[in-house]
Amino acid sequence: MDILVIIFCKILSFFTNIFGGGTNLPGSVALKARPHILKKLAAGYRIIAVTGTNGKTTTSAMLASILRTTGRHVVSNESGANMKSGITSKLISAYPIFKKTDGDFAVLECDEAYLKYVTDDINPEIIAVTNIFRDQLDRYGEVSKTLKMIEEGCAKTDSVLVLNGDDPLLANLLPERKRYFYGFRVNPDVSKSEVQNAEGKFCTVCGSPYSYNFTTFNHLGDYFCPVCGFQKPALALGVSAQPEFSPDETKVSFDGLDITVPQPGAYNVYNALCAAAAAGAAGVCPDDIKTGIEAQECKFGRQETVEIDGRQLRLILVKNPAGCDEAINSVLADTGEVEIGFLLNDNYADGTDVSWIYDVGFEKLARLDYQNVAIGGTRCYDAAIRLSVAGLNSNKFIICEDFDSLLYAIKTNLRGRIYLFCTYTAMISLRKFLHKKGYIKKLWY
Amino acid sequence: MELTICHLYPELLNMYGDIGNVYILKHRAAQRGISIKVVNHTVGSAFSSQDTDVVLFGGGQDFEMSVVAEDIKNNMLAPLKSYIEDGGVTLAICGGYQMLGKNYITPEGNVIDGLGILPHYTEGGEKRLIGNFIFDYNGYDVIGFENHAGRTYIGDLKPLGKIKKGYGNNGEDGTEGLHYKNTYCTYSHGPFLSKNPLIADELIMKALEKRYGKVSLSPLDDEYEQSARRQLLKRFA
């Protein structure tokens, strides 16, 4: 019976690939017909799940690249379809009817809220958690609830946990498990965010405020509780020397292993660390880890660059204050001709509440020497008000109510490197538009 | 002219961009040549009602709210109460609004004392009331976003407005927020003032009047604010 559903949904996914209809549809149909079909689909794979607020997609892509370097076949849901239906869809289209999957890897990016449903049927070898920040609170409530959902998801498994050791919120996650922590051993000295967010500022043991030897961003860093002595756990893998940051890449040393992370910013160092630690836990050797990370390309709007009439359009996915602040830092690190833009949508997948834009330090962008600012999305005027309050010159704003006018603005009013901040659905529909216009060749990865 | 905004516990109560209201007030005042000083009130510091023109009291997560409640009771309950009674301009949002009241009753029946400055009370519900909402404030459509588990009951007090779309205080009686003297309480979290410039200006005006006597505010170019309102009223109304 399972196999018939799988074959039917494979055909369905063939048609949705051609005619559109969403990456989640075949999975939703299969789950309706056979609620526990994931058990069957996942059998034979060595599974690594990646969850957390920020960096899931990049971490998963880096991890998949590392595992491919080892010569193994790897299945992964890299395009951000990370709810149970998306994961099911991916495993259906990858399902080999005629051969065995023994020893193949499945890297499954998993939405924080859906992990516990996925782990009903899948018992990953490893679960990696990138970090916990406030994200789309209209969906998840408070960060403590996000943590609880992840804990519930992990508790259903006997997975080894790979955790961000600089995130105090993760330190007490299932302490009886086999756990590997990763983080910074030295201060990366990135310019600090001016907006200090409050998640996880208090000791999870005694409730006193933490002190920090250094912070990397927001509540991540080398923390300790001055009252009860609780401190950052011992790291299994750490950044052991001052990284060299540049607009395109970062040179780092992971406990003596020199790696060039092909994306800018401290947050991508965390993503590389998480992928390296998870790969290490799966038994991959350091050389393959280095090669895999360095071979990984920018994926799906995570600092993807699109060439348009001699201009470089950089698509940056933003979905919450912490990620957006780091993206702003990477824009500021660019010393060339720079323009900025912001596409703000408020669909379900973006978060219907756009209040978070006031927790982002857009004020820093005011000192850039930009010619124009392109603004669009379903909440374009909210974005315009925010940027004008942040001190950007509203005479230079170009409100683009559709992508044609955005493209026109890019070709006529903007120059050099254009950093376009996009929320999730804005990114998806813009990429489709650019694909149709021939600027992006590959729509999905 | 100068105004002082006292932002209560910005480090702890910063859930949903409530700080946006400080930015908006500053921005709108600056365009009229009024300078705004922002005092970040933190745990253990004293509150001077004489030196304060606007109090902003936002919302936070449960643990942070309990730290705040404790600190206010220890350090500033009496001066905050007399500030509000004397008509000091106050904007209280979500958790801040709830805490000004008598108490909060959890779904399990535990009673958590509020500050008791105003007589409203709140009952915790199972389902969170979430979404864009619109309420009528003296004929002006106020557009906001609400996200709260608490159901607040204000008895005979005057609500800030009447719900046109969404839930408001409790999803039952059609009221939203509370308006007492110059204290504005609302469930519209985050940058509430960004799309409601009329209320932002009213707060500035009330604060100026209290300190300097009768004043008038020059109108601003609110092109984006008006466009945002038009767009959202069309979508949500």
Host domain of residue B91: 2-236
Domains observed in chain A: 2-295 (3.40.1190.10), 302-436 (3.90.190.20)
Interface predicted TM-score (ipTM): 0.95
Instruction: Decide: A119 and A153 in contact? Cβ < 8 Å.
Output: yes
Whether A197 sits inside 8 A of B14 (CB atoms) is yes
Given a contact cutoff of 8 angstroms between Cβ atoms, the answer to whether A338 and A417 are in contact is yes
Question: A253 to chain B nearest CA, in Å?
Answer: 34
Distances (CA, A) of B161 to A36, B20, B101, B129, B139: 49, 21, 18, 17, 9
**Nearest to B164, CA basis, from B127, B131, B193:** B131
Cα angle A257, A260, A263 (rounded to 5 degrees) comes to 135
Residues 6+ apart with CB under 8 A from A91: A38, A41, A42, A75, A106
pLDDT averaged over chain B?
94
Nearest alpha-carbon partner for B129 in B152, B108, B111:
B152
CATH number at residue B107: 3.40.50.880
Report the pLDDT value the prediction gives residue A290, as an integer from 0 to 100: 95
Interface mutation vs chain B, best among A345, A353, A379, A401, most B CBs within 10 Å: A353
**Taking CB atoms and an 8 Å cutoff, what residues of chain B touch A381?**
224-225, 227-228, 231
Task: Give the model's pLDDT for residue A195.
Answer: 38
Q: How many CA atoms lie within 13 A of A50 on its CB side?
A: 31
Of the partner residues A134, A201, A381, the one whose CB lies closest to the CB of residue B224: A381
- Span of A310-319, B111-120, B195-204 with lowest mean pLDDT: A310-319
pLDDT band (50, 70, 90) for residue B29:
very high
Q: Which of residues 52-111 of B touch A (CB under 8 A)?
A: 60-64
| B125 part of contact set with chain A, CB < 8 Å | no
CA distance A266 to A329: 9
Per the CB < 8 Å rule, is A355 touching B27?
no
pTM over 0.90: no
Question: What does the angle CA A313 – CA A343 – CA A295 come to, to the nearest 5 degrees?
Answer: 45
Give yes or no: B120 in active site. Answer: no
The secondary structure of chain B, three-state, reads CEEEEEEECCCCCCCCCCCHHHHHHHHHHHCCCCEEEEEEECCCCCCCCCCCCEEEECCCCHHHHHHHHHHHHHHCHHHHHHHHHCCCEEEEECHHHHHHCCEEECCCCCEEECCCCCCCEEEEEEEEEEEEEEEEECCEEEEEEEEEEEEEECCCCCCCEEEEECCCCCCCCCEECEEECCEEEECCCCCHHHHCHHHHHHHHHHHHHHHHCCCCCCCCCCHHHHHHHHHHHHHHC
**Closest Cα to residue B99, out of B117, B85, B74?**
B117
CB contact (8 A) between residue B194 and residue A382 = yes
As a whole number, mean pLDDT of residues B116-143 equals: 95
Domain count, chain B: 1
- Digit-by-digit pLDDT tens for chain A (445 residues) are 788 888 877 887 777 766 655 678 888 888 888 889 899 888 889 999 999 988 898 899 999 999 999 989 999 986 668 888 888 888 888 888 776 667 799 999 999 999 999 999 999 999 999 999 876 555 556 788 889 999 999 999 999 999 999 999 999 999 999 999 999 999 886 554 433 445 567 787 887 888 888 888 778 899 999 999 999 999 999 999 989 887 678 899 999 999 999 887 788 899 999 999 999 999 999 999 999 999 887 554 556 889 999 999 999 988 888 889 888 988 998 888 999 999 999 998 888 999 999 999 999 999 999 999 999 999 999 999 999 999 999 999 999 999 999 999 999 988 889 999 999 889 989 998 999 999 987 665 4
- Residue in B37, B31, B39 with CA at minimum distance from that of residue B2: B37
